[in-house]
Amino acid sequence: MNAADFRRLALSLEGAEEGSHFGAADFRVGGRIFATLAAVKQGYGNLMITPEQQAAFVAEAPEIFVPIPGGWGRNGATHVVLAKASEDVLLGALRTAWKLRVEKNQKSKPKRAGAKPAAAQERTKRNKR
């Protein structure tokens, strides 16, 4: 696999769009990043997954999945060694990151249409006084 394959597979996921973050290609769903090509010059694609998902991927295929160094990696950000990943493995990993982002997006939406965040509701109350 290579960067073009990563891009093609990421964009094949429902609602996925390509953007840019600090000059690197990123892939978003609902406006939020689930994968990037920030380390493509080193031969990596990056996934934004949970630390638990990262541990499972690394345990299963340590030659393909590598935690990103530092805090990002401790929070689940994971390199994918593109040259060693098959299309099925890469698509499955991208789908995992995409699904996690979709689920997080759904949790962060207001419960009902037109609902205001708590801070906005409090400002409205103060302004009516």
10-67 pLDDT, tens per residue?
999 999 999 998 889 999 999 999 999 999 999 999 999 999 999 999 999 999 999 9
What dihedral do alpha carbons 68, 84, 7, 101 form, nearest 10°? -50
Phi/psi of residue 64, nearest 5 degrees? -110, -40
Q: Are 48 and 103 in contact (CB under 8 A)?
A: no
CATH number at residue 45: 3.90.1150.30
Q: How far, rounded to the nearest angstrom, does the alpha carbon of residue 88 sit from its chain's CA centroid?
A: 18
Structural domain that includes position 121: 3-128
How many domains does one find in the chain? Answer: 1
The SS3 assignment for 43 reads: coil
Residues constituting the chain? 129
- How many whole angstroms separate alpha carbon 42 and alpha carbon 114? 45
- pLDDT digits over 96-124, tens only? 999 999 999 999 876 555 544 555 555 44
Q: The tokens of 85 are what?
A: 């990943």
